A = this chain, B = another copy of it.
Amino acid sequence: MYDKLIDHIRQNVPGTSIDKQTIEEYFTPQLFEKKEHFLKQGYICKLAGFVIEGCYRNYMISAEGKEVNTGFGFENWWLGDVSSFVNQTPTLINTQFLENTRLLTITAKNHIDLFEKSQCFREYTYKLRSKATMASVLKLSELSESARTRYKVLLEKYPKIQQRVSQRQIASFLHITPEALSRLRKSEIS
Q: Which residues in A have some Cβ–Cβ distance to B below 8 Å? A: 60-64, 66, 68, 70, 82-83, 86-87, 92-93, 126-127, 129-134, 136-145, 149, 153, 175
Contacts and interface: CB of A to CB of B under 8 A. Distances in A.
18 contacts: A60-B140, A61-B141, A62-B141, A62-B142, A62-B144, A63-B142, A63-B153, A64-B145, A70-B140, A83-B130, A83-B131, A86-B126, A86-B127, A87-B127, A87-B130, A129-B133, A132-B133, A133-B133
Contact of A149 (B63, B134, B141): B63
Contact of A144 (B132, B136, B149, B175): B175
Copy total for this chain = 2
Contacts of A82: 130, 133
Contacts of A60: 137, 140-141
Nearest to A149: B63
Nearest to A70: B140
A93 to B, nearest CB: 7
Q: Which of A68, A83, A153 has the most CB of B within 10 A?
A: A83
Contacts of A175: 143-144
Contacts of A145: 62-64
A133 B136 contact: yes
A132 B144 CA distance: 21
Contacts of A92: 134, 137-138, 141
